[in-house]
Amino acid sequence: MPLLTEYWYKDLITIFVTVILGAILYLKWIYGYWNRKNVITPTVSLPFGNASKLFSQTVTFADEFKDLYFQMKSKGLSYCGYYFFTQPVLIVFDLELAKSIISKDFSHFTDQITYCNEKNDPLTGQLLALKGNKWKNLRAKLTPTFTSGKMKMMFQSFIDCSHELVKFMDGLSGIKEPFEVKEVVGRFTTDIIGTCAFGIECNSLKNPNSEFRKYGKRLSQPNFIETLKNITAISVPQVLDILKIPLFSSDVAKFFIEIVKETVDYREKNNIVRNDFMHLLIQFKNNVATGELKSEKSGEEGEKNGNEIGNTLTLEEMAAQAFVFFLAGFETSSTTLTFCFYELVTNPEVQEKLRLEIKDVLEKHEGKLTYNALMEMTYMDWCVNETLRKYPPIPILCRCCTEPYRIPNSDVVIDKNVHVYIPIIGIQHDTEYYPEPEKFDPERFSFQNKAKRQHYTWLPFGEGPRACIGMRFGLIQIKVALAVLIKDYKFTLNSKTQSPLVLDPRSFIMTSIGGVWLNIEKVSD
């Protein structure tokens, strides 16, 4: 019996055309969202909204939102609308509005846009992705891990890993072989994270094919399917939920969950105590209160509500926290080190000044790199901050509106579930705040120069309650690597490096195409 006519193929054509027209009309209605609120948007095109170049990977996230920042700010706008596929996004340029969203009116923007579905994908149940009270309670529990006191206790692990880094560099300098800096420092940061988060000696510097290094590269270099899932998780996460598609592949989840289980079992059976992240997670698992944790009772309410973290952690919850510590820790730190080394070799006077500071400070500490010695290296701090200004690993700061919010001094209401992007890559390259922004100038972060700038002009770690919890840890990784390498070696740019650098549009984290290749030479005392 024919559906519409006596010719089945005509019926199929009619249905197909109807579906296509319906989809077009639906998208046009979706893409009228900001227009209905009288918010200006860039030119929209079907079917990806404003993100066509991002979806086709012809432009990087950094360039997309840096260009948008200057294009719209030059028109005198404090914000504009944007569509990431069907997801409406408010792009914020005004620092006061950014401050309100990140800190002052945080209660309206408590959530990240990171995908979370603990049932289908246990590794997504990590601090960055958790929402509401569950995030709040876990954040309170994990905060003691990253105090300066805890960093001092973990510091010997950083130094132990740095010994292997020096041995590796000695080998390279001996044979005068160029090296790709991100690969080497990525192994170093993998070893540190493996030791501090999992209590495992990864030995990536000795064995570049270690399992931790293999999975680290897998996660930082997603294939087409993984990239598609990541984009879906941001724009239409309901697709992953309905189809029960995990964001992370089964072998990745299996590896990290089994590693955590084996580590926990071994430590508990052998009564092993270490000053690291895993020990704190084990304490949470067993509901053990330490001196630092006695004030963190916020989990009691969570025990009454299955929606929240309670007084204990499950094995999957432990694995998720260790996983994000690993993922966020090794990639962003190795990225920052890569760009820092690039600037040090293209500005040799800065490299030499940093080398002199390192040697001067170490002389005061009997030649030993201690936590206190590292904290005294102020010029190093300026170099790292300037690198993070020029090359923020994550170029945009993202929040999800959790309660309707009226933008101050306007009639525009940001609706619940609308995303907000703050393009820190644009802010940190704005001549209003940083004259000659493409110039690498560590002096911008001297005490006098910092005091002249508005707050919220430097946001590589975010700000407010959702600021990066691992900031201290990441900075120490970076500074230990710089201290041990710049002190004893001189670096120059190898001809394999494409200079000026070209960013890779396939990566959300800022990454250069072809890498940064350096020559190394031992410095005589």
Binding residues for heme: 468
336 closest CA partner among 431, 434, 476: 476
Beta strand ranges found along 358-462 (DSSP E): 397-400, 405-406, 413-414, 419-422
Beta bridge partners of 111: 400
List phi, psi (to 5°) of 223.
Answer: -80, -175
228-260 residues labelled b (16+ CB within 10 A) or e (exposed): ebebbbbbebeebeeeeebbbbeebbebbbebb
User: For residues 205 and 197, is the Cβ–Cβ distance under 8 A?
Assistant: no
Annotated binding-site positions: 468
- CA separation for the pair 241, 464 (Å, rounded): 30
Helix (H/G/I), strand (E/B), else coil: 400: strand
How far apart, in whole angstroms, are the C-alpha atoms of residue 209 and residue 203? 10
At CB < 8 A and 24+ separation, what contacts does 417-420 make? 418/88, 418/89, 418/90, 419/84, 419/87, 419/88, 419/89, 419/90, 419/113, 420/89, 420/90, 420/91, 420/92, 420/101, 420/109
CB atoms within 10 A of CB 464: 16
Strands 87-92 and 419-422: parallel
Q: Which residues pair with 503 in a beta bridge?
A: 512
